[in-house]
Structure 1
Amino acid sequence: MTTTIRPDADLDPVFSQMARATTAHCWAVPQLTDREKVFLCVVADVCQAGLGLPFEMHIRAGLDRGVSTGDIRALLRLVAYDSGYAAALMALERLAEIEAAAGLPGPTAEPLRGALLDIGPDAAPSPLPEPIRAQLRELDPHFTEHFELQSRMRSGSGPGTLTIRERAFATMSVDVHYQTLEETFQAHVDRALGGGASAEDVRAVLRFNAQFGVTKAWRAWKALNAHLAHRASAANGGGVARLP
């Protein structure tokens, strides 16, 4: 088990007790792997700008559990369009500092091919589901184009080491931190379920995220329970659209 706060009592002995008890309770959630838990901690650090001690502790906890800094880079590339590129860039800068201090290798991923970066007739097809694309078109064509670009760059054709389940859990967590609990949260939940996660696995994501803010988790629970109930009542419907 890892902790999200310094485990000793240097900063405040009572706070240290509270932090240990809280993280122990969340890390005991059995449905998530240690790798998934590390990813969710890093997502919280990015979204909450916790790039000092918490981020370093989570990176080191990941290394202890076989999660490489290359895996963390893939995670940061994934969440960049939800968290914002600036937030992800600050995390990458901090990660590079940790790698340098520990003598770890830097980026090794293969570059994206040009068609994934293009916009227009030479662009590769975007994996954005048509029902979601239709919703975006109602908002603005340029925003739709931007969304298609983001999805294309994160498709299976690009670099990355994350499973569908891991990607879905990470983006669900961004929704929890930013309280975007309508269309995108529903799409990310659907993506997790479509990628083989059970409803109980999806619930475990919120159970784990409670340590990063119980009021945010409370609102997310309301949204999740409502969406799962809707899915259950419409179980005979096919093809729920999912974000890539």
Structure 2
Amino acid sequence: MVDLPSGPLAAVDAEFEKMALETGGFTFGLPGTSVREKLLQVTAHDICRASFGLPFKMHVLAMSRHGVPYADMLALIRFVASRTRRAWSEERLSPRERAFVALTAHVTQRALGESFRRHVELALKVASADDIRDAVRFTAEMGVIETCAALEELEKILATS
């Protein structure tokens, strides 16, 4: 089990904390991505949604507990906020991490058109199709409906790649 800070959730609702830990246990157990990649994904989701309350604080704390340096957290914020060619050269994030974060941003915003296709193609250069599936599956942690739509689109893209 991955050490995730759940105490603040218990203060809101003890039953919700249990549900969150069960969901986190499943999603963080997906084998195709590392804990660091998953933590970058959930924090990218917070940034995309401009949600800087309790979830963001908990995700930043989890990144810190798992050894993600502060400079890498800043690199994540710059990458998600910028989305320019320069952002893709962000050295503190690996090409694979950038690809998974970009896919997470697409899922978060339900932007599953041509840009999603291009980012899947970029991801295929640095990750296997199965790892990409797990990265997209992991976004169910943040929204099942968006993830279902993204998985359907991903399968279409992979079938033609």
Same fold (TM over 0.5): yes
Question: Is the Cα contact below 8 Å between 1:41 and 1:58 reproduced in 2?
Answer: yes
CA-to-aligned-CA distance 1:173-229 (integer Å, 9 cap, x gap): 00000011011111111111112x000000011121101010000110111011001
In the TM superposition, what are the counterparts of 1:1-244 in structure 2 within 5 Å?
Answer: 1-3=2-4, 6=7, 9-82=10-83, 150-151=84-85, 153-156=86-89, 160-195=91-126, 197-231=127-161
Give me the TM-score of the superposition, normalised by structure 1: 0.61
The Cα of 1:39 is off from its aligned counterpart by 0.3
SS at match of 1:67: coil
Partner Cα distance (1:186, 1:211) in 2 = 22
Bigger radius of gyration? 1
Q: Any idea what SS the aligned residue of 1:10 has? A: helix
Check conservation: 1:177, 1:216, Cα contact below 8 A.
Answer: yes
CA separation in 2, counterparts of 1:191 and 1:34? Answer: 21
Count residues in correspondence: 160
1:27 Cα deviation from its structure 2 partner:
0.6
Paired residue type of 2:103 = M
- List gaps (5 residues or longer) in structure 1: 83-149, 232-244
If each structure's helix is expressed as a fraction of its own residues, which one has the higher value?
Answer: 2
Q: Name the structure, 1 or 2, with higher relative contact order (CA <8 Å, separation 6+).
A: 2
The answer on whether the counterparts of 1:206 and 1:221 sit within 8 Å (CA) in structure 2 is: yes
CA offset at residue 13 of structure 1? Answer: 2.3
Paired with 2:69 and 2:34, the residues of 1 have a C-alpha distance of: 15
Per-residue CA deviation, residues 55-81 of structure 1 (Å, 9 max, x unaligned), is 111112111222111101111111113
Instruction: Please give the secondary structure, in 1, of the residue aligned with 2:11.
Output: coil
Q: Which runs of 5+ in 2 are unaligned?
A: none
TM-score normalised to structure 2 length? 0.91
2:43 and 2:56 in contact (8 A); partners too: yes
Question: What percentage of aligned pairs have identical amino acids?
Answer: 36
